[in-house]
Structure 1
């Protein structure tokens, strides 16, 4: 299932205004520009790959996302990029990319172990030997959800210039490593506020390492913020750079590949 915030055309059209270009985009853009072929997994509106084209990237750029409404935005603004509807279970690539990225905390949309396993095995298969998979998750120790409160209101404008107010509210306590919250949109274009309910999974570094290792991916670098600061107990991010080694002997490569459940949604 795709979260309503990404499946609804009106709400998807507001995504880039609600999430403007920032230090995380700069971090990923540098990596994309240094790679010949790139897959953006959960690409959303395609902002990163569109930025890479504008910056002069001439190699293969492919974005894939299960939310059709988000890809509508991507195709309108970036016709010179390959946009694919689906996920790595519906479109498995075999050693086709030097770099796979998963930005905007999209990894946290993978709620079940089988979703994580299936996605990471798909990433491993898509990467050429020596290729890199780079993604980030919010550090659970930083407890970001405690700041998702209705008093923190974001004000943006819609496509017609009308004001839109957006706020978040997390449920009082996490359910294990999962946090459920609402995202509410209010503005004159709607008769009543539009409420989207979502759940994210907060995995710590040790859990991530276990999943990556089982998929045949090795952690090469890890940072705690977008300035490449070191990991520490309460840093906001867990930014992981993982590498794929020789896949010739890997049980998940080629015809023996078995994907798990599909990915759920795009960036957040």
Structure 2
């Protein structure tokens, strides 16, 4: 069965927005980024997805330059519903801006899609080049100590109704955990279990020491580090590694 034809890329991006609404008034993670975006005159959102963060910023009064970059064509098509924001299809490593932004962001754990050291190095180099001296790069990655992937299993399936009224079930299932990389599938199905779509993803779980070494190598200085969205410190119980790094 061609599951992508059954549940298309456009369906999947609409579903993402339904399950992950951007609202700084309700979500501490969104409020954290919104505060930084509001204070920056020019913002590059790397891995912008459907553009929800930049949409919100423009709708709520940001008058500066907002740019979204993402390799997912279907997500960008949804993002481009707003024409007063710049949108570019591509990966972070392929970006060619030079000293044009005050702030770069990677939200929604997008940093974890950079699986190899080479992926991280090339992406950090391009992001640093895009920032003005003193510009900041902020992102989060799940702390490996929290072992978030252990909850990604069919027993934690979610039932919901999508934007066009279809009753659906969503679950994740881990295939492999090796060298800090977790590979898993996400399945969208009908309530009776009929599979409509499978997507396979690999995410890297970096520890603080490795992450900071890669940032320093790329010419970033860690300005702030948090273990939660209320700006608490990283502790043995932290589920997140939230970083604000500055272009030195």
TM-score after normalising by structure 1: 0.84
- 1:39-188 to 2 correspondences below 5 Å: 39-76=44-81, 78-171=82-175, 174-187=177-190
Alignment counterpart, residue 240 of structure 1, candidates 219, 238, 243: 243
CA contact (8 A) 1:150 1:168 kept: yes
C-alpha separation between the residues in 2 aligned to 1:166 and 1:31? Answer: 32
Instruction: Provide the alpha-carbon RMSD of the alignment.
Output: 1.7
CA contact (8 A) 2:46 2:68 kept: yes
SS of the aligned residue for 1:70 comes to helix
Cα shift at 1:19: 1.7
Q: Is the strand fraction higher in 1 or 2?
A: 2
Count of residues in correspondence between the two structures: 237
1:254 match: none
2:13 match: 12
TM-score after normalising by structure 2: 0.91
SS of the aligned residue for 2:237 comes to coil
Question: Gaps (5+ residues) in structure 2?
Answer: none
2:38 match: 33
Cα shift at 1:17: 1.1
1:261 match: none
C-alpha separation between the residues in 2 aligned to 1:15 and 1:156? Answer: 12
1:214 match: 217
User: For the structure 1 residues 191 and 142, does the alpha-carbon distance in structure 2 shift closer, same or farther, using more than 3 Å as the test?
Assistant: closer
C-alpha separation between the residues in 1 aligned to 2:228 and 2:246? Answer: 20
C-alpha separation between the residues in 2 aligned to 1:9 and 1:136? Answer: 26
Question: Gaps (5+ residues) in structure 1?
Answer: 246-268
C-alpha separation between the residues in 2 aligned to 1:236 and 1:47? Answer: 24
User: For the structure 1 residues 89 and 180, does the alpha-carbon distance in structure 2 shift closer, same or farther, using more than 3 Å as the test?
Assistant: closer
C-alpha separation between the residues in 1 aligned to 2:203 and 2:195? Answer: 26
Cα shift at 1:193: 3.2
SS of the aligned residue for 2:80 comes to helix
C-alpha separation between the residues in 2 aligned to 1:151 and 1:88? Answer: 35
CA contact (8 A) 2:50 2:75 kept: yes
CA contact (8 A) 1:37 1:60 kept: yes
C-alpha separation between the residues in 2 aligned to 1:39 and 1:56? Answer: 17
SS of the aligned residue for 1:174 comes to strand
Cα shift at 1:191: 6.2
- Structure scoring higher RCO (CA < 8 A, sep ≥ 6) equals 1
SS of the aligned residue for 2:201 comes to strand
Could you list the per-position Cα deviations for residues 198-224 of structure 1 after superposition, in whole angstroms to 9, with x for gaps in the alignment? 111000010110110010000010000
